Amino acid sequence: MIKVGIVGGTGYTGVELLRLLERHPQVELKAITSRKEAGMPVVDMFPNLRGRVRLAFSTPEDAGLENCDVVFFATPNGVAMQQTRALLDAGVKVIDLAADFRIKDIAVWEHWYKMEHACPDLVAEAVYGLPEINRAAIKGARLIANPGCYPTAVQLGFLPLLESGAVDAGFLVADAKSGVSGAGRKAEIATLFAESADNFKAYAVGGHRHWPEIKQGLESFAGKPVGFTFVPHLLPLIRGIHATLYAKVSADIDLQSLFEKRYADEPFVDVLPAGSHPETRSVRGANMCRIAVHRPFGSDTVVVLSVIDNLVKGAAGQAVQNMNILFDLPEDTALDAVGMLP
Amino acid sequence: MIKVGIVGGTGYTGVELLRLLERHPQVELKAITSRKEAGMPVVDMFPNLRGRVRLAFSTPEDAGLENCDVVFFATPNGVAMQQTRALLDAGVKVIDLAADFRIKDIAVWEHWYKMEHACPDLVAEAVYGLPEINRAAIKGARLIANPGCYPTAVQLGFLPLLESGAVDAGFLVADAKSGVSGAGRKAEIATLFAESADNFKAYAVGGHRHWPEIKQGLESFAGKPVGFTFVPHLLPLIRGIHATLYAKVSADIDLQSLFEKRYADEPFVDVLPAGSHPETRSVRGANMCRIAVHRPFGSDTVVVLSVIDNLVKGAAGQAVQNMNILFDLPEDTALDAVGMLP
Amino acid sequence: MIKVGIVGGTGYTGVELLRLLERHPQVELKAITSRKEAGMPVVDMFPNLRGRVRLAFSTPEDAGLENCDVVFFATPNGVAMQQTRALLDAGVKVIDLAADFRIKDIAVWEHWYKMEHACPDLVAEAVYGLPEINRAAIKGARLIANPGCYPTAVQLGFLPLLESGAVDAGFLVADAKSGVSGAGRKAEIATLFAESADNFKAYAVGGHRHWPEIKQGLESFAGKPVGFTFVPHLLPLIRGIHATLYAKVSADIDLQSLFEKRYADEPFVDVLPAGSHPETRSVRGANMCRIAVHRPFGSDTVVVLSVIDNLVKGAAGQAVQNMNILFDLPEDTALDAVGMLP
Amino acid sequence: MIKVGIVGGTGYTGVELLRLLERHPQVELKAITSRKEAGMPVVDMFPNLRGRVRLAFSTPEDAGLENCDVVFFATPNGVAMQQTRALLDAGVKVIDLAADFRIKDIAVWEHWYKMEHACPDLVAEAVYGLPEINRAAIKGARLIANPGCYPTAVQLGFLPLLESGAVDAGFLVADAKSGVSGAGRKAEIATLFAESADNFKAYAVGGHRHWPEIKQGLESFAGKPVGFTFVPHLLPLIRGIHATLYAKVSADIDLQSLFEKRYADEPFVDVLPAGSHPETRSVRGANMCRIAVHRPFGSDTVVVLSVIDNLVKGAAGQAVQNMNILFDLPEDTALDAVGMLP
């Protein structure tokens, strides 16, 4: 059994890790930390887990994380980088669901996250946990930087186009929409029901932290600098990201076939038949990215539609997928649930 | 392997049966019928099942239902009663998710469902599939009448009170609220998004078909006639029923303990600690009824709060639970998913 | 022109007052206070008012409230009672939308609101601003205690029954459901979109502050003590309260006619035809209470359905109605908008 | 008083016309037609109008439309073109809220709407009712083609950019999102609550009827052919369109100032301060288009955010605005309501 610890268990990625891991046949949940709620049984906060998760929250000090085989950080940005070295030194694998190890250029990271990085050398070592491009590296890693939710949906949508050189890398647009759970379980006015229900808006058009993360990925796929515009929007739904991607076709390629071939062996990317429109609910609760590719009116504009559940393939599910790869388990262990529809 | 057929696969209870059964280790899905969609792969209608369900819809005639071990009817009322006798004669077990076999008094049934019953003798034989009261009878049955969604939530909430004689049976009130999926996957104006979102109303206060079904149950629990008022409401959410039950306490009993003891051995009824308020989302997608019992200000009014997912414990999940009992499988096989929160 | 000040302008009742008052032909908005946002133009927080409201938030000290003709308190409980005496002394009328002056029994108020009352003598003077029972007293008042949202819906539903002695006052039940805006514009986890969307639950079954307020009213209607159970629930919608009321009929009265006669002259109570089910959206944004009365199966249980918009007839609209009465204006001035449907 | 008739009164644009017109001081509602519901009081279908609209639905034959001053068609496409000539001949002004007269190229119209046009000469005469470009022509018109909802939001967002030549007309992208009321009040499975709540998807990426309408407008603004990609999406909210527009800047222009100047005199277009993100709720129920313009990171990509209420500025409100212009009334008569927030 794999001994698992979770740091920061009171947020949505934390409870989602619990929901997925409690039925993982190879996992033994050892600890889940919350300094604020230490002592409270997890099920008092998350009653959906009653009868299934018997842990109580513990302080990080009392959690015995160094005795785990793997620790997930489901914490705000800037926490994991303070604790990772000690865990790695103790032989514990680390999967960070926050952004601490995602961006290789430390200056860029420090600019966007507005703090000094505590361990640039570990950033260099960390493997970006997008299995569809990094499976082999993940297998041998000690430290995984689990991708952001928008970055997962956007990168998987652009990947075949940029790898193949099928589009002009100079003008890429991602119009992305996220459910409100993407903002986390934090007391804030902007994400109150009465503020975000029956409403829709863009936000952070002037600059969002996922922009440099995605750009880094797109440039590695393209092998050159890209021009990339990213506009996130807040959707009045709980779970789900829909990325609508635009690019100019620069080569005469069968795009449907390109996508199907690229993802033929990927268990968690599903290329829909030509003409399809993926719905976010088709992946609700599921570790799956569904993609459709269009070329309206045969023009030179390609439109890619990419959907994920931001808490699953965009966070906790992908983290468990990475854990399965790390520990040489079948990649879909505990990740076989289908989307809940309706 | 249990060979399973589903009649009427294009509604919400049909797709929910598929979602639950596709991961049931003892089940082989043999057929799913839809006269209208015959020939269409199931996943073209329900893309969440892509890669998991390879069946296409078939006509009832071509479905080979008589070769199944069990057939689920996820059809409108009045269909199952036409086809059940032939299936029983062929040795097939039948679980009807509609109302054809729920009400023992044929005249009452015909009054409320406005049609003549095709097989009153089978109504007499049918077992009402609420395992918490009928587990032994279900085990030996050929024909199960799967309870309605409101009836499940309301009966499980009143059961301990009436069995024990703790309340006045003459004045029972159920103020019940259901998510919109309870109305089915039918093209109707009243359940359009733009009609039912950001809106709330009662309906059918003058009489709802679940009233006689619930009343029949309550009277069997109480062993005498009951006075029962039932007011259903339409909630702007997809899945979930919340029943708020009111009665007058007539005996000096520890109600919390009464409920805990009654359901101590029930895998799918969870009595919450005193003072709790169950949320529908805690059972979203799960085969579970969560109940809390209150006595505000120590008055003689008892308030019971009972929540289920109308498509799971209120329909498809309970049907699978009944199938597991029928076939002597562990009762929670394929029913172990926890509620999806958030 | 009536010079109007609003204390506490950053909450939902504050912005709703602005939405209603900006088109009131007899009103001149003089000040809206927010200590925290002093200096910020109101439209920076509430862009729906762009081009219509030119005020900026000011501190209470700088607001010149004593020069207003009337001041609305849209503040948390306990604020108005600190400032009301000085305003009254300056000849300013006060309408408090919070609970400071609603409950006549000071001990009861202090028990439920957990603070000492600052001016019990003003509680005695204050008029409870439910025009349907207190219109004459409102006209001559200096200080109006604007009713709570649940209390408005519940009291208007029970009023004809209790005044006429048509029901047993010993066993009254109000099963009430409120949209999330009722919880205010406060940063709290429980009312986040991801917590309260696609979800439903009861809360405060053990005791809610509106219980003593409603009970006080019901007892005054009945002229004797009542047995009253109140169960509030949180609805996944923004605006709207639906109260479902239960009582036992104790006199042979035509209930439909009773309600129609009682409210025949009331501009903001609309008794629906027999057999109706009022929808919350029919009063969305409107100062209106819609009521239907049922007696299912001719039993002795009466069911009343009562809907309001919690921010309008349940708060800001009723406050403007009270202001209109106070200043001898047509009662529907600025209150003539119909419900927004869909 | 202007005598008004409405053809097709049971849909969302019909009831929205009623909501706006019932408080128009110069309007006398003479008739509202519905063949199916003839004889039913309007308020039986739309109870929000109780006490305010006393009309019943009538058949078109009995409606006396030829005696009206203006007739609004709130009908499916293809109806208005059958009845318009007779009304014009009788001296009645016609405002069509459907698409019959929007597209000047008859072949294009017939291709997209899949029917033969009944009166191409009237298409030539009809004035496209977007006041921000056609105010003078509207004033003298007999027949107004009221713009579609998406076309209003998209054209107003691109107008200043194309008129001024500030962007490359060869690569324009509109990523547009609409609330579900845009699909109309029709019994269809795809727009059921349980299908479209908590869900998001694109649709009609391969071709939507608003594409040629928008393209026609953009080309007239630019004075040359444009390359235009249009991707509509279905938002889980009732009212609201958010168009996110992308183009490449080709001239060195202060975009904020460009927009502010272009719309300085427009009563129903509100250019937000630099850096803003308009919300659909800020225009909920209001005849207003709110626009913000961004140039992320100073790149050469311009992003325009444009929001309207699809039923108001995108349909009924704009139709009333056109009527006000036609009859020389103040343009904002009956259109002064602010957006309902929250």
**How far is residue A318's CA from residue C67's CA, in Å, rounded to a whole number?**
62
**DSSP-derived secondary structure letter, C58:** E
A10-A12-A13-A16 Cα dihedral, nearest 10 degrees:
100
Please give chain C's pLDDT, 342 residues, in tens. Answer: 999 999 998 999 999 999 999 999 999 999 999 999 999 999 999 999 999 999 999 999 999 999 999 999 999 999 999 999 999 999 999 999 999 999 999 999 999 999 999 999 999 999 999 999 999 999 999 999 999 999 999 999 999 999 999 999 999 999 999 999 999 999 999 999 999 999 999 999 999 999 999 999 999 999 999 999 999 999 999 999 999 999 999 988 999 999 999 999 999 999 999 999 999 999 999 999 999 999 998 899 999 999 999 999 999 999 999 999 999 999 999 999 999 999
Task: Quickly tell me which residue has 């999406």 as its tokens.
Answer: D233
Residues 6+ apart with CB under 8 A from D4: D21, D27, D28, D29, D30, D68, D69, D70, D71, D72, D323
Output the pLDDT for position D129: 98
A76: left (phi over 0), alpha (psi -120 to 50) or beta: beta
User: Which positions of B are catalytic?
Assistant: 149
Output the pLDDT for position A252: 86
Question: What is the band of A215 on the pLDDT scale with cuts at 50, 70, 90?
Answer: very high
Question: What is the band of D137 on the pLDDT scale with cuts at 50, 70, 90?
Answer: very high
Write out pLDDT tens, residues B266-303.
Answer: 999 999 999 999 999 999 999 999 999 999 988 999 99
Chains that contact D by 3+ CB pairs under 8 Å?
A, B, C
The mean pLDDT of D235-240, rounded to a whole number, is: 98
Q: Measure D273 CA to nearest chain C CA, in Å.
A: 10
pLDDT of B252 strictly over 90 = no
Output the pLDDT for position A204: 97
A278 touches chain D (CB under 8 A): yes
Q: Which of C108, C199, C230, C279 to mutate to test the interface with B (most CBs of B within 10 A)?
A: C199
B270 touches chain A (CB under 8 A): yes
Output the pLDDT for position C223: 98
3-state secondary structure of C76: coil
Output the pLDDT for position C37: 95
The reported pTM is 0.97
Write out pLDDT tens, residues A146-205.
Answer: 999 999 999 999 999 999 999 999 999 999 999 999 999 999 999 999 999 999 999 999
pLDDT of D23 strictly over 90 = yes
Write out pLDDT tens, residues D60-79.
Answer: 999 999 999 999 999 999 99
The mean pLDDT of A209-227, rounded to a whole number, is: 98
Output the pLDDT for position C251: 86
**How far is residue C13's CA from residue C313's CA, in Å, rounded to a whole number?**
11
Write out pLDDT tens, residues B106-139.
Answer: 999 999 999 999 999 999 999 999 999 999 999 9
Peptide bond preceding A225: is omega within 30 degrees of 0, i.e. cis?
no
Report whether C79 contacts C73 (CB < 8 A).
Answer: yes
pLDDT of D225 strictly over 90 = yes
Cα→Cα distances A34→A56, A57, C192, C281, Å? 9, 6, 20, 42
Q: List CB contacts (< 8 A) between D207 and chain A.
A: 296-297
Which CATH architecture group holds D149-310? 2-Layer Sandwich (3.30)
D195 touches chain B (CB under 8 A): yes
Q: Which of D195, D205, D277 sits opposite A303 (nearest CB)?
A: D205
Q: Which of A186, A189, A197 sits opposite C185 (nearest CB)?
A: A189
Q: Which of C172, C283, C152 is nearest to C219 (CA)?
A: C172
**DSSP-derived secondary structure letter, C239:** S
3-state secondary structure of A57: strand
Question: What is the band of A281 on the pLDDT scale with cuts at 50, 70, 90?
Answer: very high
Report whether A334 contacts A20 (CB < 8 A).
Answer: yes
Burial C112-131 (b: 16+ CB within 10 A, else e): bbeeebebeebbeebbbbbb
Residues carrying CATH 3.30.360.10, chain B? 150-309
Nearest chain C Cα to D287, which residue?
C48
**Would the ipTM clear 0.90, i.e. be above it?**
yes
Task: Outline where DSSP puts E strands in C164-256.
Answer: 172-178, 201-202, 228-234, 241-248
Radius of gyration of chain A, Cα coordinates, nearest whole angstrom: 19
**How far is residue B242's CA from residue B179's CA, in Å, rounded to a whole number?**
9
User: Across all residues in chain A, what is the average pLDDT?
Assistant: 97
Q: Which of A68, A119, A149, A289 is catalytic?
A: A149
B1 touches chain A (CB under 8 A): no
Q: Which of A22, A283, A338 sits opposite B52 (nearest CB)?
A: A338
Q: Is D181 in Cβ contact with B185 (below 8 Å)?
A: no
Task: Quickly tell me which residue has 């996922």 as its tokens.
Answer: A210
**How far is residue B131's CA from residue B319's CA, in Å, rounded to a whole number?**
10
Report whether C29 contacts C21 (CB < 8 A).
Answer: yes
Domain A2-125, classified CATH 3.40.50.720, yes or no: yes
CATH class of the structural domain B150-309: alpha beta
Task: Quickly tell me which residue has 């199907």 as its tokens.
Answer: A260
A289 touches chain B (CB under 8 A): no
**How far is residue D316's CA from residue D45's CA, in Å, rounded to a whole number?**
18
Task: Judge whether D149 counts as a catalytic residue.
Answer: yes
Q: Is A283 in Cβ contact with B338 (below 8 Å)?
A: no
pLDDT of D4 strictly over 90 = yes
Kind and range of the H or E element at D144?
Answer: strand D143-145
Output the pLDDT for position D298: 86
Q: List CB contacts (< 8 A) between C194 and chain B.
A: 342
Write out pLDDT tens, residues C137-148.
Answer: 999 999 999 999
The mean pLDDT of D292-308, rounded to a whole number, is: 96
Report whether B320 contacts B21 (CB < 8 A).
Answer: yes
User: Across all residues in chain D, what is the average pLDDT?
Assistant: 97
Output the pLDDT for position A251: 86
Q: Number of helices and strands (H, E) in chain B?
A: 11, 14
Q: Which of D201, D229, D242 sits opposite A278 (nearest CB)?
A: D201
Tell me whether residue B59 is exposed, middle or buried, using C-beta atoms within 10 angstroms of its C-beta: 0 to 12, 13 to 18, 19 or more: middle
- Give ∠ CA C240-C246-C247 in degrees, rounded to 5: 145
D303 touches chain A (CB under 8 A): yes
DSSP H helices in D273-336: 317-326
Question: What is the band of D304 on the pLDDT scale with cuts at 50, 70, 90?
Answer: very high
Tell me whether residue B124 is exposed, middle or buried, using C-beta atoms within 10 angstroms of its C-beta: 0 to 12, 13 to 18, 19 or more: exposed
Residues carrying CATH 3.30.360.10, chain C? 149-310
The mean pLDDT of D183-199, rounded to a whole number, is: 97
Q: For C158, phi and psi rounded to 5 degrees?
A: -90, -20
Question: What is the band of D252 on the pLDDT scale with cuts at 50, 70, 90?
Answer: confident
Residues carrying CATH 3.40.50.720, chain B? 2-125
Q: How far apart are the first and last CA of chain C?
A: 35
Output the pLDDT for position C166: 97
Peptide bond preceding C342: is omega within 30 degrees of 0, i.e. cis?
yes
Residues 6+ apart with CB under 8 A from A78: A98, A100, A113, A115
D192-D194-D197-D200 Cα dihedral, nearest 10 degrees:
-80
Q: Is A48 in Cβ contact with B340 (below 8 Å)?
A: yes
